[in-house]
Amino acid sequence: MTTLPGTGHLAPKFLQGFPATPEEARWTCSRCGVIEPKPLTAFGTTRYFKQQCACQIATKVLIEREERQREFTAAQSALTYSWLGGRWSDRDLVSKTFETFQMHRQPEAIEWCKYFMQEMKGTLVFYGTFGTGKTHLLAAICNAVREDKAIASRFVTAPKLFSAIQSRIQAREDYSSLIVSAIKTPLLVIDDIDKAKWSEFREEIYFEIVDERVKAGRPMAISTNRVEILADYVGGAVCSRLKVGQIAVEMVGADFREEI
């Protein structure tokens, strides 16, 4: 504690170090002009502290927003590909972007990806032969909307989804949280939706997820090699709901994996 000049009062610690005159705390920003200090009165004595200008405030807000975005992106990238648990993680897909895709292979599909990401509604369906980039583009959509729009997503292949559910059933654990997560996520991506053999149980799971998402207007993106017989894998009622706002894009060409 120190004695304030000209008074018999003791200055509390929070006043120490503040200028005693407004001239000492006044400053000039090259863009905002003169920035007047803010007075602070305590114990009958006024001290002054420098105010931030609009430039500084805007920069601070931007930095905080970018930090929150980085935190969101880091957290959501893990959830996007690992939401079923580590055993079923697809974390390597974080690296799949439009920049790393060979655009000349599927120019039409790229344009539909842009449209889908802009509208974020209905169901985007990639169908066609093996190795044409369907998985890459689905992952690129997840990564792009997370980075650019802060939109969360869940990516899963059909076999892994039902493997995770079956694992919980065998362990006598509740699997409903997986269904709820698939329903509630802003964007759901199901890759290789025709790779899980049909069963009445699986059709019921598909129906619950797709029906609730369609009613809520939440977008989906899926891939299949056999769109013409998709009902044989997910059921007719599910296929019907997937047609709401559907964008079906055929992807043909050589299997790029043969070139690796």
pLDDT tens-digit profile of 68-80?
766 666 666 778 9
Averaged pLDDT, 160-189:
97
Q: Which residue has the tokens 């899926």?
A: 222
Task: Tell me the β-bridge partners of 2.
Answer: 11
Task: Tell me the β-bridge partners of 124.
Answer: 221, 247
**pLDDT value at position 180?**
97
Averaged pLDDT, 215-235:
96
Q: Does residue 216 carry a pLDDT above 90?
A: yes
How is domain 73-259 classified at the CATH fold level? Rossmann fold (3.40.50)
For residue 169, how many other CB atoms are within 10 A of its CB? 12
**pLDDT value at position 149?**
86
State the Cα torsion 19-24-30-34 to the nearest 10°: 90
For residue 55, how many other CB atoms are within 10 A of its CB? 13
**pLDDT value at position 15?**
67
**Interatomic CA distance for residues 116 and 118, integer angstroms:** 5
Q: How confident is the model at residue 19 (pLDDT cuts 50, 70, 90)?
A: confident
Q: How confident is the model at residue 3 (pLDDT cuts 50, 70, 90)?
A: very low
Averaged pLDDT, 139-149:
92
Q: CA-based angle 40:45:46, to the nearest 5?
A: 30
Task: Tell me the β-bridge partners of 3.
Answer: 10
Q: Does residue 5 carry a pLDDT above 60?
A: no
**Interatomic CA distance for residues 189 and 135, integer angstroms:** 10
Percent of the chain exceeding pLDDT 70 equals 88
Q: Which amino acid is at 127?
A: Y
Q: Which amino acid is at 170?
A: Q
Averaged pLDDT, 70-94:
82
Structure tokens at 169: 């059933």
| pLDDT top residue among 137 and 5 | 137
Averaged pLDDT, 180-208:
97
**Interatomic CA distance for residues 107 and 116, integer angstroms:** 14
**Interatomic CA distance for residues 204 and 163, integer angstroms:** 15
**pLDDT value at position 43?**
67
The alpha-helical segments, DSSP class H, found in 150-242 are: 158-170, 176-184, 200-216, 231-234, 236-242
Q: Given phi > 0 = left and psi -120 to 50 = alpha, else beta, which region is 120?
A: left
- pLDDT tens figures, 28-56: 999 899 999 888 877 677 888 889 999 98
Averaged pLDDT, 150-167:
95
3-class state of residue 187 by DSSP: strand
Q: Which sequence spans correspond to the domains of the chain? A: 14-51, 73-259
